[in-house]
Amino acid sequence: MFKTILIHTLAAALLLPILSTEASARKYGGFKTGYTFTLRVKKVSSVEATGIPGSGTTKKVEIPDGLPKFRKGQKVRFKIGRRGKLVFKGAKIPFREDAGYSNLYRRAEPMSVAATDDGQVIKTKKNKAEAVFLNFTRLSGGPGKTVTYSLSYTLR
């Protein structure tokens, strides 16, 4: 009987920290899971480039389907999700590293460079978000006919 109680007590002692809310409040680059902040879109750039980089052509285009669509002046709400993901309307970008004054986020298609999403959250010394830079890149076509779509947002 004593042995059974001891085993249950030890199991509870080991599992309690894992299941508690303290465990879910883990920090990623100084931001706790669940931290939310809202910033305003200051700049939007959507560009299509064709041909070889440096010698092809570029032009402004509408934001491609499947990418987050925000307009200048719009407020965007961000949340730090599970495992530190930067979550906002239209995207979830995994946390990569704490770079000191900013947190870096990156999502890439497995085994491909055809689609990447990058984010950088500039933070204050007190770990409050003050700016976000987002870049979404999509490649299509083949050798010599490569088309690169690049969508960038600056939020403050």
Q: What are the pLDDT tens digits along the chain (156 aa)?
A: 444 443 444 444 444 444 444 445 689 999 999 999 999 999 999 999 998 766 788 999 999 999 999 999 999 999 999 999 999 999 999 999 999 999 999 999 776 768 999 999 999 999 999 999 999 999 988 777 889 999 999 999
Token pair of 9, please?
């007590």
| Rounded Cα distance, 130 and 126, in Å | 11
> Residue 19: its pLDDT value, please?
47
- What is the pTM (predicted TM-score) of this model? 0.81
Question: In this predicted structure, what is the pLDDT of residue 10?
Answer: 43
φ, ψ dihedrals at 100, nearest 5°: 90, -85
Tell me the one-letter amino acid at 71: R
Q: Which residues contact 85 (CB under 8 A, 6 or more apart)?
A: 92, 93, 94, 95, 105
- Predicted confidence at residue 140, as pLDDT, reads 87
> For position 55, what pLDDT does the model report?
74
